[in-house]
A and B are shown apart, each in its own frame.
With several copies, the nearest count.
Chain A
Amino acid sequence: MELFISGIGGQGVQLAGKVLALAAVAEGRHVMLSGDYGGHMRGGSSVGTVVVGPGPLRALPVLPSAGSAIAMHNQYWENVGGRLRPGSLILAEASIAPALPGMEGHRLVQVPATAIATEMGARMAAGMVLLGAYAAMTGIVAVDSLVAAMKEQIPVYRRQHIEANERAIRAGADALPALGAPFDLDGAPLREAV
């Protein structure tokens, strides 16, 4: 299974990718994670790529195509949208979803992630909401694995955010019924995970 996470610097794209990757590794899967971002500045393009498979991966670090994506922002989306295979799953932050071009032939799921996160008083945790929703919808990793991975990843001096992040992940997963049917990644026109 391959996933692109797309957003802008400062939204937590790379963290989300890392958490998903760690969760998958913890579950015994083989994982590749690559990040593409322009420097340390806010506001630039930020893309994370996660590949998960049952055995050794042959995936390229610059993935030519994928079957699913998380869209946190519409800016820079072109980098990612064009590389989705037909019938891909796209989880999009609801506020920007309408601005995403080229959604035909894909399954677009709008997640009010920012709203949910803001409601919980943790506006920056929108990425975690999306991650929870993605895990729940695809079953690629257990939600508890995500939570554990998030805890492992957060550095000591950011410990105060752990609890909010956990709630965000779970809230995203809990939103599943509202978002629609689960998505069978393998059902997508997906070759062996190269």
Chain B
Amino acid sequence: MRTVTRGTLVIAEDRCKGCELCIAACPPNVLTMSRTGNRLGYLYPELKPGCTGCTACQQVCPDFVFEVFKFEDPVLFDTPPEGARPCP
């Protein structure tokens, strides 16, 4: 399946406190919690393809973890693109 992806994030994962508010807030549901903890032991969000760049996650996050970008042209993902990490 190819997913149209209009936006993306920078996630300051070490600042995340694992509250999962972003997970519930994301309209296309493209955020998912990591399986291992960050520096403080908290799980943190990871981004799947399909982000719209709507900034909902950034709005709801109490810990200022997100920077949101909109692509000039939508990106299509069907395989792990360059730079994406495989699921651990």
Contacts and interface: CB of A to CB of B under 8 A. Distances in A.
* A–B: direct contact at CB < 8 Å: yes
A42 interface: yes
- Grouping DSSP codes into helix (H, G, I), strand (E, B) and loop, the B interface class, with mixed when no group exceeds half, is loop
Interface string B26-60: 00000000000001111000000000000000000
Interface of A: 10, 42-43
A42 B41 CA distance: 8
Nearest to B42: A42
- Grouping DSSP codes into helix (H, G, I), strand (E, B) and loop, the A interface class, with mixed when no group exceeds half, is loop
Contacts of B40: 42-43
A42 B17 CA distance: 9
7 contacts: A10-B41, A42-B40, A42-B41, A42-B42, A43-B39, A43-B40, A43-B41
Contacts of A42: 40-42
Nearest to B40: A43
Nearest to A11: B41
B62 to A, nearest CB: 13
Nearest to A44: B40
Contacts of B42: 42
